[in-house]
Structure formats: C-alpha cells, structure tokens
Amino acid sequence: MNIISRFKLSAVLALVGVFVFSSCRKDKEAEPYVQVTSGVFVLNEGGWGANNASLSYFDFGSGAVTANIYSSANPQIGTLGDLAQDMHVYGSKMYIVVGGSEIVEVVDKNSIKSIKTIEMDGTSPKNITSANGKIFISAQDDKVYVIDTVSLNIQKSIPVGKEPAHMAVVGNKLYVTNSGEYNHPTYDNTISVIDLTTLTELTKFTVDINMSHIEADQYGDLYVVSRGRSYGTEPLVNSKLYVINSTTGSIKKVFDFEITSLTIHNDIAYTYTFSYISGEKSYRVLDVKNETVISQSLITDGTASTIQTPYGIGVDPVSGDVYIADAKDYVNAGKVFAYDKTGKQKYSFTAGPLPSGFSFVVK
C-alpha cells in the first residue's frame, strides 16, 4: 500500500468510528419524584397516537410543577399511555382512564404508584365515576363497565346507548349520556338510567343529540350538555345546556347559549364555552338552586383573552378557586389558569399537552 491508500483507509475507519462512537444513545432524563402534599393533579390527554398522556402535579405550597409525575413514580412503566380522557379518586386510589391504550390505570392517590392496570378487552374506555363501592366506566363499545373496587376486576358490563360518555349519580341511580359521537349526523339523543343495585338499565330519557357532560346538583336535577351538530351538510345545531328532573326525565329548563362543559360546586355551576360553530369563548356562572345565570363571565380581570383553547374546568373544593385548562394549539404544552371566586387570576402554570381534568388533593 502506498501512502495515499493508507491515508484513505484510515480516513474511512476514522469516519466510521466517528459515526459509531459519537452516537451512543442517551436515556431520557426522568424527572425526580416529588412527595404529594397539598396541590392539584392535572390530567393531560396528550395527542392522538403520541402516547404522551401525562399527569402533572402542581404543589400549592411550593408553587412548583412536576410535569409528569406518573412517569416519575412509575419509571418501570414510563408513559401513562395514549389519550388519558378522565380520572377519578375513590378511596385511597386514583383511577385514570386511558382511552387510546384501552386501559384504566389504578394508582395510589398520593404516591401515584401503579397498583393495577385494568385492560378493557379491546374497547376504548371514555369516562369514569363511582358509586356504592363500584367504579363505572363508559366505553366505546356501547357499554358501561362495572369495576369492583376491592378486586379491581371488571365485574359486569351494562349495555347502554351509542358511545356512552359522562355519568352522574343521584340516589341509587346512575345516569349516562349516550353521545353517539361516532354516528354523525344523527348521533344518539338519550340518557341511560341504571339501577345501582341490580346494575341494569331501567330506562332511557330522550333529551337532545350528542350529549356529553352531565352533572347532578344537590336538588335531584341533572345538568346535561348537548353538543349539537357543528359540521356537515345537515343544518348546524348549537350546543345547549339542559336541566333535567332525574326522577321523571322531563326537561325543566334549557339554557340556550353555546356551552362546552361545566362543573358544579355547591350551588354554583361554572361553565365554559368554546363554540365549534362561532368560535365563541366564554365562562358563565350559574346558580343551580334557582336555575339562573349569575354572571356572563367568571373572569373579571380582563385576562380571559389569554386563554387560547379552554379544554377543561375544575373547582378546588377547599378554596373554591376555579381552574381552567388551556390546550393551546393541541400540540405544545398546555397551561392552567387559576381564578379566585371573584374572578381574579391567582396564578397560572404550564401543564402537559392537552390538559383536560383536575383532581385536588384534599388532606
């Protein structure tokens, strides 16, 4: 070999060497685990197929955010999964519904350590509630699943209407909105009434199309959001809020303003609207005792315009502060804004992608 070929060979080897050795893979840095004391958990839905659903923890004492406390608490599992759509605390456990992963993740409500992963047998779970020592999960296969809170096994499934969504409990009955969200443009227009003793459907109330959120007040009424029909060639239908008598199923009142979701705290309903049709963004406050609008805007300090994409609402049961989740552009990290009862912004913090639900740590 002459000099040039030697040079050539060593150049080849050097280049290959650079590729091979400079490129060692590094592990993703995991966030350190933080002790939960007093604060709020924010459920971040994550993007479809992105497998990046997460749980953020905001500590009231330190004002610090732990971005992905589920992953910190469960490094052996890593991600919470794909599309976390709802969560619920019952007893000492927190149940997280992960729709895209077709699981319900059961964790300790303080340590967030995984206790069990309940597989939903190939259907996508949607929303969750509890009553009488049972957990109820609505699922895409037109059923409500009953989970025993001791064994954490699926005990039963109850056939309901199309694509059941949110649930509310009044007395010994469970009310499930049948959204029919995959059946555009007809949807479903019923609420299934389930007896909590026999765990069977007693009847269906017919209300309006595409219902989603349902909340019970302390006077036996149900507040139900009909999302209307916001696209397509059929006539568009605005969303509305219905007040339903839970015993008879009769419509007591219709709030004819566009509405996306609500949460009820004592006698106050906090609502938010992000209209699919007009783009309207608003935050109305209602009195559920008298069934009247208290205020057209919860936010009184002029900061409403800083919320880009309202995506969830919650009330701290201790302080009465209202939390609004902002999903921003549905891709980047979202944000949470906290308002006191007078509608002044107390603080805001960064959440994960598509924040949608809140769970307050009550000691």
Partner 1 sequence: MVHKGLAFLFYCFLVSVIGFSPVAAQVDTLREVKIKSKRISTFSGQSLGSAELEKINNLSVADAVKHLSGVQLKDYGGVGGLKTINVRNLGSLHTGIFYDGIQLGNAQNGQVNLGKFSLDNVENISLVNGQSQNLLLPARAYALANSLNIESKKPQFHDRKDQFKLTLKSGSFGLVNPLFKWDHELNSKIYSSFSAEYQKAHGRYKFPEPTSNNLLIRENGYLNALRLEAGLYGIAVDSSVWSLQTYLHKSNRGLPRIVVRNNSSSRQQLWDDDFFIQASFTKPLSKFYKISGRSKYAYNHNRYLDPDWPDSVGKIENSYQHNEYYLSIANSYQVNSKISVSLATDIIRNWMDAKIDLSTTAFPKPVRYTGLIAVKSKLLIKNFDLEASLLETIVNESVKIGKSAADKTALSPFVEASWKPFKSINLRLRGFYKESFRLPTFNDQYYTLIGNADLKPEYTTQYDLGFNFVKTFSSNIKYVSLRGDVYYNKVQDKIVALPSYKSLFLWTMLNVAEVQVKGVEMGLNSEMLIRQSVSLTANLNYTYQQALDKTKGGANFNEFIPYAPQHAGSAVIGLSKSRYLLNYNFLYTGERYGLRPNNNDGYMEPWYTHDISAGYKSTYKQLSCKFLAEVNNLLNQSYDVVRNYPMPGRSYRITLTINY
List the one residue from 89, 149, 162, 267 that touches partner 1 (CB under 8 A).
Answer: 162
- In the complex, minimum distance from the CB of residue 78 to partner 1, in angstroms, rounded to a whole number: 3
Contacts of 36 (CB under 8 A, 6+ apart): 57, 59, 69, 110, 111, 112, 361
In angstroms, the Cα distances linking 157 to 139, 198, 199, 211, 228 are: 10, 12, 9, 21, 28
- Total of chain residues touching partner 1, rule CB under 8 A: 65
Q: What is the separation of C-alpha 259 from the centre of its chain, rounded to a whole number of angstroms?
A: 17
* Residue whose CB is less far from partner 1, 93 or 229: 229
Q: Does 25 bind partner 1 (CB under 8 A)?
A: yes
* Residue whose CB is less far from partner 1, 19 or 151: 19
Binders of partner 1 among 188-227, rule CB under 8 A? none
List the one residue from 64, 202, 331, 362 that touches partner 1 (CB under 8 A).
Answer: 331
Q: Are strands 355-360 and 240-245 parallel, antiparallel or unpaired?
A: unpaired
Candidates 341, 251, 263; CA nearest to 295 is 341
List the one residue from 141, 195, 267, 340 that touches partner 1 (CB under 8 A).
Answer: 141
Q: Does 305 bind partner 1 (CB under 8 A)?
A: no
- In the complex, minimum distance from the CB of residue 281 to partner 1, in angstroms, rounded to a whole number: 10
Binders of partner 1 among 234-293, rule CB under 8 A? 234, 260, 274-276, 279
Query: What is residue 71's three-state secondary structure?
Result: helix
List the one residue from 166, 240, 328, 335 that touches partner 1 (CB under 8 A).
Answer: 328
| Binding window for partner 1 (CB under 8 A); candidates: 25-33, 191-199, 235-243, 317-325 | 25-33
* Residue whose CB is less far from partner 1, 60 or 337: 337
DSSP 80-145: -BS-EEEEEEETTEEEEEETTTTEEEEEETTT--EEEEEE-TTS-EEEEEEETTEEEEEETTTEEE
| Strand ranges across the sheet with 93-98 | 84-90, 93-98, 103-108, 114-119
* Residue whose CB is less far from partner 1, 25 or 363: 25
Which two three-digit tokens encode residue 209? Answer: 């199309």
- In the complex, minimum distance from the CB of residue 226 to partner 1, in angstroms, rounded to a whole number: 15
What x/- string results for residues 33 through 52 when contact with partner 1 is judged by CB under 8 A?
--------------xxxxxx
Which two three-digit tokens encode residue 102? Answer: 């077709």
d(CA 311, CA 65): 19
> Rounded to the nearest 5°, which phi and psi values hold at 96?
-115, 125
Q: What is the separation of C-alpha 227 from the centre of its chain, rounded to a whole number of angstroms?
A: 16
Residues 284, 174, 162, 251: is their CA dihedral positive or negative?
Answer: negative
Binders of partner 1 among 88-127, rule CB under 8 A? 98, 100-103, 117, 119, 124
CA geometry: angle at 321 spanning 111 and 351, to 5°?
Answer: 50
- In the complex, minimum distance from the CB of residue 245 to partner 1, in angstroms, rounded to a whole number: 29
Q: Does 303 bind partner 1 (CB under 8 A)?
A: no
* Residue whose CB is less far from partner 1, 18 or 254: 18
Site for partner 1, rule CB under 8 A: 1-2, 4-5, 8, 11-12, 15-16, 19-20, 23, 25-26, 28-29, 47-52, 76-82, 98, 100-103, 117, 119, 124, 140-141, 162-163, 182-185, 230-234, 260, 274-276, 279, 309, 311, 327-333, 353
